[in-house]
Structure 1
Amino acid sequence: MTETAPTTLADLRSEIDRIDSTMHALLMERSSIIETLIAVKKTQVSGSAFRPGREADIMKRLALSHRGLLPLDTIESIWRTIIATFTYVQANYSVHADVSGGDAAMRDSARFHFGFTVPFVTHEDAQAVISAVAESAGDLGIFRMDLGASAGVWWRDLIGSDRPKIIARLPFIERRDHPAGTPVYCIAKPLADAAVREIVLYAARVERWSDALRAGLAQHLAEVSASAADGSHLSLLVAASGESDQAAIRAALAPAGLSDFAEIGSHAARFAFKPTR
């Protein structure tokens, strides 16, 4: 005998209550697994709980499988909050943000991607965010990608094996009218085995700008994301495909009088989402 689908308002509300209870039970089950994970880590080599590549994979799967009336914005925000909060209970951390370009957009980005449990700390510029992350046990930092030249050569503060590195570019899912659409970099202390290298970022210093520079970099799937005067030199932030050869990128910069070149982070390539109708 086939069970009939609920048709009355009371039946439908009962089904919603059942689903809500199931979701809560699953979250508690997830919490129990995290408790076990924390106990296991106490007997093993500890490390950062952040896994940018895994988070990007989860978000991509959610976007590809999502259907129905519920906006993807809501699904993304819920899952980002779940991931960020369970990371927080494994090892408390704060999110430091540069609000020199405005507090509202950065606060929206932090709350959308990390929820309300994780403390949100504001700073006056990107350099202060980098310093705060460097001095912390395991905090994150976010600042706008479109910082102007007046923000200084902040990317050079990421040079060095023990300095913070860019680990993500948010938001990861690219779509129109994103509720937290301000493009930001996310930094953390170096992640030994958790970084994703679809896009690799470099800090470079050259003697002069060359008209052939952009074309030369483009041949190796690289581009200048930002530039600023650096004394008598010009400092560049270069973004390149993770498949690009580092030596080839250096060679493309050489005609401009390259004086130094260092990797300062990497992140997942953005996932373009086109909603189905």
Structure 2
Amino acid sequence: MSSPNDEAAPVDLDALRAEIDRLDREMHERLMQRSAIIERLIAVKKTSQSGSAFRPGREAAMMKALAERHSGLLPLDTVESIWRVIIGTFTYVQAPYTVHADISAGDGPMRDSARFHFGFTVPYQPHPDARAVIAAVAGGRGDLGIFRLDQGASAGDWWNGLIGPDRPKVIARLPFIERDDHPAGTPIFVISKPLADAAMRDVVLYAARFERWRSEAAGAIAGAGGEIVCTTGVAGQLSMLFSVPGDLDIQALTDLLTQAGAAPAEIAEIGSHAARYRSDRG
């Protein structure tokens, strides 16, 4: 003997499926509407100077807001990846670019990061090391470069290729949303030619050389909220890449290091990025 609920179930399922179909159509319509707005934006957005439509500060803010408002059964990983493909692709149609990747530590993690953060429409070009990536970005118009933070001493002082006002600069650190078991969780820097009006300066990166280094200087950097990213020996000196909060200017930083017994022989800013955002949701 059947119950009333058994007869009602197919009707309820049909209604739910119809609602899903309606939402799918609306999502597609919204994407097409977004595309139409982008067509208008292309004519007025300032992409002429650097050739890049990438706006790392805006993107970091968007991804943080997405993570904070997300709820429900759909994993944050899925939502983040969908938005990243949308953003990366629409950025590409505004000003086409290639992502150049340092695969010296393996192609797989870098390709995963590129596809997760920039989508499959954007061309991906592997290179043997960070220096080759920097050269490719310097020789392009609006291209991006990506490489791992943990290069190791054998990579040398590759960051010196970012020194100079017209040289490529770090503009982002990915992933925007950090969490355990992130599907593209390899920490990477993104570089581009200098951005005129879109750089985020929550964290500023410096390249420096020291004739003399003291452990107290490492403590001073950490005490200021900074982080030593890479070090290597070059011609009897210590070459270092490190980051500090953006409100610590280069003179204050130099004074801090000098007081700690490690006056820099050379120091130069090589980029900046948004503050890291941590989420425990997967």
- Take 2:47 and 2:114, find their aligned partners in 1: how far apart are those partners? 32
Map 1:121-200; keep pairs closer than 5 Å. 121-200=125-204
* Largest Rg, 1 or 2: 2
Deviations 1:15-35 (A, max 9, x none): 111000000000000000000
Cα deviation, residue 47, structure 1: 5.2
Deviations 1:45-67 (A, max 9, x none): 78531110000010011000000
For residue 208 of structure 1, the aligned residue among 194, 197, 212 is 212
Alignment match, 1:256: 262
Cα deviation, residue 218, structure 1: 2.7
The 3 A distance-change label for structure 1 pair 42 and 179 is closer
Q: Is 2:149–2:189's contact at 8 Å kept on the other side of the alignment?
A: yes
Cα deviation, residue 266, structure 1: 0.3
- Take 1:47 and 1:132, find their aligned partners in 2: how far apart are those partners? 14
Alignment match, 2:229: 225
- Take 1:127 and 1:205, find their aligned partners in 2: how far apart are those partners? 18
Q: Is 1:171–1:180's contact at 8 Å kept on the other side of the alignment?
A: yes
- Take 1:46 and 1:233, find their aligned partners in 2: how far apart are those partners? 34
SS of the residue corresponding to residue 194 of structure 1 reads: coil
Counterpart residue type for residue 50 of structure 1: F
TM-score, scaled to structure 2: 0.92
Q: Is 1:220–1:245's contact at 8 Å kept on the other side of the alignment?
A: no
Given the alignment of the two structures, is residue 115 of structure 1 paired with residue 119 of structure 2, yes or no? yes
Deviations 1:125-150 (A, max 9, x none): 00000000000011000000011000
For residue 272 of structure 2, the aligned residue among 258, 262, 266 is 266
Q: Is 1:206–1:253's contact at 8 Å kept on the other side of the alignment?
A: no
Counterpart residue type for residue 268 of structure 1: A
Given the alignment of the two structures, is residue 82 of structure 1 paired with residue 86 of structure 2, yes or no? yes
SS of the residue corresponding to residue 213 of structure 1 reads: helix
The 3 A distance-change label for structure 1 pair 191 and 7 is farther
Q: Is 2:51–2:141's contact at 8 Å kept on the other side of the alignment?
A: no
SS of the residue corresponding to residue 186 of structure 2 reads: coil
The 3 A distance-change label for structure 1 pair 232 and 142 is same
Structure 2: runs of 5 or more not aligned: 1-9
Cα deviation, residue 75, structure 1: 0.7
The RMSD of aligned alpha carbons is 1.9
Is the deviation greater in 241-250 or in 201-210?
241-250
For residue 18 of structure 2, the aligned residue among 8, 14, 17 is 14
- Take 2:196 and 2:50, find their aligned partners in 1: how far apart are those partners? 11
Q: How many equivalent residue pairs?
A: 271
Cα deviation, residue 39, structure 1: 2.4
Cα deviation, residue 44, structure 1: 8.3
- Take 1:17 and 1:11, find their aligned partners in 2: how far apart are those partners? 10
- Take 1:175 and 1:97, find their aligned partners in 2: how far apart are those partners? 23
- Take 2:98 and 2:48, find their aligned partners in 1: how far apart are those partners? 24
The 3 A distance-change label for structure 1 pair 258 and 95 is same
Cα deviation, residue 245, structure 1: 3.2
Cα deviation, residue 216, structure 1: 2.1
- Take 1:135 and 1:74, find their aligned partners in 2: how far apart are those partners? 35
Cα deviation, residue 123, structure 1: 0.3
Deviations 1:107-134 (A, max 9, x none): 1000000010000000000000000000
SS of the residue corresponding to residue 97 of structure 2 reads: coil
Given the alignment of the two structures, is residue 40 of structure 1 paired with residue 53 of structure 2, yes or no? no
Cα deviation, residue 152, structure 1: 1.0
Counterpart residue type for residue 151 of structure 1: A
Q: Is 2:212–2:263's contact at 8 Å kept on the other side of the alignment?
A: yes
Percent of aligned pairs with the same amino acid: 62
Cα deviation, residue 41, structure 1: 4.4
